[in-house]
């Protein structure tokens, strides 16, 4: 039976579909399962009216896409960014399904967002927008239904506004409906650093698998938000030298190694949490993309999707890439990296520490019993190391790239559950 293949004009969605089809066909997955898993269960679009500080009303577009709930409640972040659209959310929702499956946690995949520019909005405007959005998506989210979390430009504060709104609507506290909450309000110790900690753990496991010492390693980290900053600090703690960091204000490069502690202090006192004006011993300010071209062992792209593409890939000098962001390497970029012999640790393995940490928080919320930070970190480290090994071994034994191996292992688990459950929703 020949089944048509979906394509999309949105590059990220088209890539997500191609990656899925490629792995599914190589696995010999049935056409029925290919048809089920290449479609999303739900694509919701909402209008979000917000009263701005000047009294005017603006209506923002918001989305929540649930790709799969085969294994458990759909799971994935909510981002605030001008480029958010429904196809991008669907691509990222699919990625969440594979991420949760590969991580071995009991969730499906979802993603949402609001097309807005949060950097130009006041805290009050963001609060009104967050609460209106939560109310709009309330019918399809819940502890056992769909559990959103932070993503680009959202964090603990937004999760509190979301959760508080849902709790008020339902008439009872519902902590398990969002993860990534602050520690003081049903959050978990360890969650803030979890994604970056996991990304760095993959970098360190990669060095170990290759027989290399972290102390001799040099790295560059694109993005100094939640993911990049903790990736950089964890690599430094392991002994590596961070040659370059960056954010929307540019690249900060020092051959002596960036003082990451100082960079943390700098962003915490900057009104927009940016590196603007940062300096340290030997530090030189460079252009936005220069971080990608640093001569180093590992490059960690931890900003937005598509950073390493046909235009930038030619100048990449790193030996290895560990993807902290979702989709930072385009398929064209990937093909050229492959030719250059650059090994890539794929996003949904490398950055799964965030959602694994979310699972820990959710489990604590369900039981009403909180863990210590040590418990949290040691469980996270254990799972990340195990998952890295699983994908590494899979790739070695089947002689495929790590991305393909990760897709195959992840799709397998979802397909097994789909088969067990049958097609009745």
> Segment contacting ligand GLU (CB under 6 A): 147-155, 234-242, 368-376, 397-405?
147-155
Which strands make up the sheet holding 284-286, listed edge to edge?
284-286, 250-253, 241-247, 218-222, 298-301, 320-322, 343-345
| Near ligand GLU in 281-320, by CB under 6 A | none
> Segment contacting ligand GLU (CB under 6 A): 55-63, 148-156, 266-274, 281-289?
148-156
Query: Per CB under 6 A, does 355 bind ligand GLU?
Result: yes
* 276 CB-near residues (< 8 Å, 6+ apart): 249, 270
Query: Per CB under 6 A, does 75 bind ligand GLU?
Result: yes
Task: Give me the helices (H) in 67-142, please.
Answer: 86-103, 123-137
Q: Which of 305, 354, 403, 415 binds ligand GLU (CB under 6 A)?
A: 354
Q: Could you give phi then psi for residue 289, rounded to 5 degrees?
A: -85, -10
Q: 97 vs 218, which CB is nearer to ligand GLU?
A: 97
Q: 201 vs 351, which CB is nearer to ligand GLU?
A: 351
Nearest approach, Cβ of residue 149 and ligand GLU (Å): 3
Query: Is residue 82 within 8 Å of residue 115, measured between CB atoms?
Result: yes
Neighbours of 254 (CB within 10 A): 18
d(CA 253, CA 319): 18
Query: Is residue 235 within 8 Å of residue 258, measured between CB atoms?
Result: no
Query: Is residue 251 within 8 Å of residue 286, measured between CB atoms?
Result: yes
| Near ligand GLU in 332-351, by CB under 6 A | 351
Query: Per CB under 6 A, does 149 bind ligand GLU?
Result: yes
Q: Which of 358, 364, 365, 377 binds ligand GLU (CB under 6 A)?
A: 358
d(CA 166, CA 184): 18
Beta bridge partners of 131: none
Which candidate in 75, 99, 111, 241 is catalytic?
A: 111
250-253/284-286 β-pairing: antiparallel
Query: Per CB under 6 A, does 413 bind ligand GLU?
Result: no
The residue number whose beta carbon is nearest to ligand GLU equals 77
Query: Per CB under 6 A, does 324 bind ligand GLU?
Result: no
Nearest approach, Cβ of residue 100 and ligand GLU (Å): 8
Query: Per CB under 6 A, does 109 bind ligand GLU?
Result: no
Nearest approach, Cβ of residue 243 and ligand GLU (Å): 26
Q: Which of 62, 77, 198, 203 binds ligand GLU (CB under 6 A)?
A: 77
Nearest approach, Cβ of residue 99 and ligand GLU (Å): 6
d(CA 198, CA 234): 9
343-345/250-253 β-pairing: unpaired
Q: 103 vs 342, which CB is nearer to ligand GLU?
A: 103
Query: Per CB under 6 A, does 158 bind ligand GLU?
Result: no
Nearest approach, Cβ of residue 77 and ligand GLU (Å): 3
Query: Per CB under 6 A, does 76 bind ligand GLU?
Result: yes
Q: Which of 66, 165, 179, 364 binds ligand GLU (CB under 6 A)?
A: 179
Query: Per CB under 6 A, does 151 bind ligand GLU?
Result: yes
**Torsion sign, CA atoms 394, 398, 401, 405:** negative
Rg (C-alpha) for the chain, rounded Å, is: 21
Which among 368, 324, 377, 370 is positioned nearest to 349, based on CA atoms?
324
Nearest approach, Cβ of residue 366 and ligand GLU (Å): 15
> Segment contacting ligand GLU (CB under 6 A): 63-71, 293-301, 354-362, 416-424?
354-362
Active site residue 111: yes
Tokens of 306: 């598509």
Q: Where are the beta strands (DSSP E) in 313-378?
A: 320-322, 343-345
* 353 CB-near residues (< 8 Å, 6+ apart): 194, 195, 196, 197, 198, 199, 201, 380, 384
Q: 30 vs 143, which CB is nearer to ligand GLU?
A: 143
Q: Where are the beta strands (DSSP E) in 16-171?
A: 42-51, 57-68, 74-81, 109-115, 146-150
Q: Which residues bind ligand GLU (CB under 6 A)?
A: 75-77, 99, 149-151, 179, 326, 351, 354-355, 358
**Residues acting as catalytic residues:** 111
């Amino acid at each position: 039976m020949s089944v048509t293949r979906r394509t999309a004009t949105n590059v990220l969605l088209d890539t997500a579909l191609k990656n899925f089809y490629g792995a599914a066909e190589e696995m010999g997955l049935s056409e029925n399962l290919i048809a089920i898993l290449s479609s999303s269960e739900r694509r919701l679009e909402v209008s979000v009216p917000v009263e701005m500080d000047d009294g005017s009303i603006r209506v923002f577009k918001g989305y929540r896409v649930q790709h799969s709930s085969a294994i458990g409640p759909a799971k994935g972040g909510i981002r605030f960014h001008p480029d958010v659209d429904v196809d991008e959310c669907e691509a990222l929702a699919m990625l969440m399904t594979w991420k949760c499956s590969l991580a071995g946690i009991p969730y499906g995949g979802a993603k949402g967002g609001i097309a807005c520019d949060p950097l130009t909005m006041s805290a009050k405007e963001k609060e009104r927008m967050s609460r209106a959005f939560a109310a709009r998506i309330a019918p399809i989210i819940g502890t056992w239904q769909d559990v959103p979390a932070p993503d680009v430009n959202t964090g603990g504060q937004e999760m509190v506004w979301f959760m508080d709104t849902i709790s008020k609507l339902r008439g009872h506290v519902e902590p398990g409906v969002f993860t990534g909450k602050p520690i003081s309000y049903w959050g978990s110790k360890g969650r803030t650093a979890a994604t970056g900690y996991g990304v760095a753990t993959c970098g360190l496991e990669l060095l170990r698998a290759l027989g290399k010492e972290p102390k001799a390693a040099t790295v560059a980290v694109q993005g100094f938000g939640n993911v990049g900053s903790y990736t950089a600090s964890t690599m430094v703690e392991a002994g590596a030298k961070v040659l370059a960091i960056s954010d929307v204000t540019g690249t900060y490069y020092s051959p002596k190694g960036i003082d990451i502690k100082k960079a943390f202090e700098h962003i915490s006192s900057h009104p927009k949490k940016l590196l603007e004006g940062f300096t340290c011993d030997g530090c030189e300010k460079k252009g936005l993309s220069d971080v990608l071209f640093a001569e180093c062992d590992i490059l960690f792209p931890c900003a937005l999707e598509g950073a390493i593409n046909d235009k930038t890939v030619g100048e990449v000098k790193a030996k290895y890439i560990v993807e902290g962001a979702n989709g930072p390497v385009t398929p064209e970029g990937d093909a050229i990296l492959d030719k250059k012999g650059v090994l890539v640790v794929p996003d949904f393995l490398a950055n799964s520490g965030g959602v694994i940490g979310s699972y820990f928080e959710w489990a604590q919320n369900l039981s009403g019993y909180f863990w210590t930070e040590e418990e949290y970190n040691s469980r996270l480290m254990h799972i990340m190391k195990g998952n890295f090994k699983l994908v590494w071994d899979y790739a070695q034994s089947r002689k495929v790239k790590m991305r393909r191996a990760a897709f195959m292992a992840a799709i397998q688990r979802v397909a097994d559950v789909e088969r067990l459950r049958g097609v009745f929703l």
